[in-house]
Amino acid sequence: MPQNNHSDEYTLDQVINNLSGTSNRMTVTEYNKIGEGAFGTVVEAVLNYTDPPNNTEETHGPFAIKRVPAQTEYKSRELEILRVVNHPNIVSLRFFFDKKSSIDGKIYQNLVMECLPSNLQSEIKYYRQLKYTIPYPHMKAYTFQLTRAMLYLHGFGISHRDIKPSNILVDPSSVTLKICDFGSAKKLEPNQSSVSYICSRYYRAPELIVGCPIYTTKIDIWGLGCVIAEMFLGKPIFQGQSPELQLKEISKLLGPPPKTFYFKSNPQYRGNMYQNKLFSCSVEDRFKQIFSNSPPDAIDLLLKILVYDPDFRASPRSVLVHPFFYELKKENFKVYPRGASEPISLNLFNFSKYELELLGPLKDELLKSSE
């Protein structure tokens, strides 16, 4: 256990195990703050408890504990969603408990999750400082896993609503990726309106920017496109200085939004429509200019994802079968994790029955080897 911080230790009588639903007595030792967000704090911790088979108390972990003020009026969606999801590319919830803070006397909800060593924001920054990008094979593996998590979530109608690199955990030593931070997530019902002021500015889909009241899980696909673009560019692709200027940044790549886009998204929109064309070439050539160092298959994928109209924006299934990922399907595909002298194989195609159902007829295309 690293000793770089003061550790905090406490014993709780009733910690609920998410898998079994039973409650256990545990001692929690928190030793390192790893995240400080708008809503809560994330700390690294180990837990001491007795596992029934061997009946001796043992130390388990490390875990990441996310602590947010407990909701009094409505149930925490984050807990509700994390309790039911189970996917290799979504952070897993192991335990949860409520605890009164010794500092302000308020009740806090604590979510005990598996702990990953890094997130995509830190990885992008690490390579940027070396004037490099995340190696292409790693980018492909990360993008594939992120899309797989979206296929699964969107299959249930759940939208994450805050896709951005800091909410995407990674383990660079195994090139695995897991989505975290379900604090904004919601199950979207068809024709039911939801607040459009969600998602961090740089990653907001255009329909959210213009205040579309009835949006779909395609808002996460926009976020996916922004994340892929950011891996290639080393910095966020659309950095608007205000919510409205965000749309202008997007129009610098996609051209002016069509009038039909405003009408379809929100006929009440009265903001700036950015109808001036800011470049003279075709949209395709514009993508080639902006992503001048990126391979053609990546540019083709981005052209299918970064689309104004959510109905024409790629779906998780269509992303998964894109040629950008053909390399991952090769029989002898291996990657070198950073600093490793031996390459490793990745288990990217262990689809569950549920995922195969969601893939439908596309599953044969996805599972056939590209060689």
Ligand X SMILES: Nc1ncnc2c1ncn2[C@@H]1O[C@H](COP(=O)(O)OP(=O)(O)OP(=O)(O)O)[C@@H](O)[C@H]1O
Residue positions annotated with a catalytic role? 162
Nearer to ligand X, 114 or 327 (CB): 114
- Is 164 annotated in a binding site? The answer is no
Least Cβ distance, residue 181 to ligand X (angstroms): 3
| Identity at 310, one-letter amino acid code | P
Nearer to ligand X, 46 or 319 (CB): 46
- The radius of gyration of the chain from alpha carbons, rounded to an integer in Å, stands at 22
**CA quadruple 52, 55, 60, 63: dihedral sign:** positive
Least Cβ distance, residue 146 to ligand X (angstroms): 15
246: its two tokens: 């965000």
Nearer to Mg ion, 147 or 167 (CB): 167
Least Cβ distance, residue 2 to ligand X (angstroms): 14
Instruction: List all residues 6 or more positions away from 246 whose beta carbon is below 8 Å from its beta carbon.
Output: 201, 202, 204, 209, 238, 240
| Ramachandran angles phi, psi of 46, nearest 5° | -115, 155
Measured from each CB, the residue nearest to ligand X is 37
38: its two tokens: 């708008």
Nearer to Mg ion, 38 or 103 (CB): 38
CA 62 to chain centre: 21
Report the first-to-last Cα separation within the chain, whole angstroms. 46
Least Cβ distance, residue 184 to ligand X (angstroms): 8
Cα–Cα distances (Å) from 6 to 1, 9, 226, in that order, read 12, 10, 38
Tell me the helices (H) and strands (E) count for the chain, helix number first. 13, 11
Least Cβ distance, residue 121 to ligand X (angstroms): 7
Helix H or strand E segment including 231: helix 218-233
Instruction: List all residues 6 or more positions away from 116 whose beta carbon is below 8 Å from its beta carbon.
Output: 64, 91, 169, 170, 171, 176, 178, 180
Residues in the chain: 371
Between CA 191 and CA 173 the distance in angstroms is 43
36: its two tokens: 């400080």
Residues near Mg ion (CB under 5 A) are 37, 167, 181
CB-based contact 175:346 (threshold 8 Å): yes
Q: What secondary structure does DSSP assign to 129-176, as a single string?
A: HTT--S-HHHHHHHHHHHHHHHHHHHHTTEE-S--SGGGEEEETTTTE
Least Cβ distance, residue 118 to ligand X (angstroms): 8
Residues near ligand X (CB under 6 A) are 34-35, 37-40, 42, 64, 66, 91, 113-116, 119, 166-167, 169, 180-181, 183
Between CA 283 and CA 291 the distance in angstroms is 12
Instruction: Look at residue 38 and give the partner it binds from ligand X, Mg ion, none, a contact being a CB closer than 5 to 8 Å depending on partner kind.
Output: ligand X
Nearer to ligand X, 48 or 200 (CB): 200
294: its two tokens: 């990126």
Instruction: Look at residue 113 and give the partner it binds from ligand X, Mg ion, none, a contact being a CB closer than 5 to 8 Å depending on partner kind.
Output: ligand X
Using the structure block, give the residue that is written with the tokens 């083709």.
Answer: 300
Nearer to ligand X, 40 or 316 (CB): 40
Question: Can you say which residues are annotated as belonging to the binding site?
Answer: 66
Going by the annotation, the residues of the binding site for ATP are 66
